[in-house]
Chain A
């Protein structure tokens, strides 16, 4: 089973700052990684799939990178509406399709 470790647990930044979220895997699985955004009381929303592809409707301030075991989600200029918990998920052909523990992004 592939384990995903996200860091930091909480990220507190000012509007307009760059947010960098990390997701590290216990073993390599290529580029089949997804990032989700979840706001309170809502279902998760896909932000990035296959490590670097933006999901439909996602603003271009969101970008993803990485492969193998190290992945990054970057929000280039943080907006108030970006406050949420972000989860990574491995989506290789090898189930279980585990999630990371999440990173909470807050506005200072």
Chain B
């Protein structure tokens, strides 16, 4: 089983729609959680961190359920510019000086007119 699992999509939605992505992680020792965005043939960029209480950044809302080991991302009022691949990322703190990120394979979103 992969450490971080995502539905690869693609999710095809019309402009203005609300869309939600889910992600599950297998390691209960995971400490912190993030959503990154990756445009086609570009580098990943941090979209937002995910906090236990849930958090919002404009049209984007992230939720974490530690008991179910489940993370979600909700995008409201989708824009054409939201078309990208969304990567679920989990950070497991190791003993020692460094921690390592584990990336999901991503969920592709295509927003259409």
Whether A associates with B in a native complex is no
Residues on B lying within 8 angstroms of A by beta carbon are: none
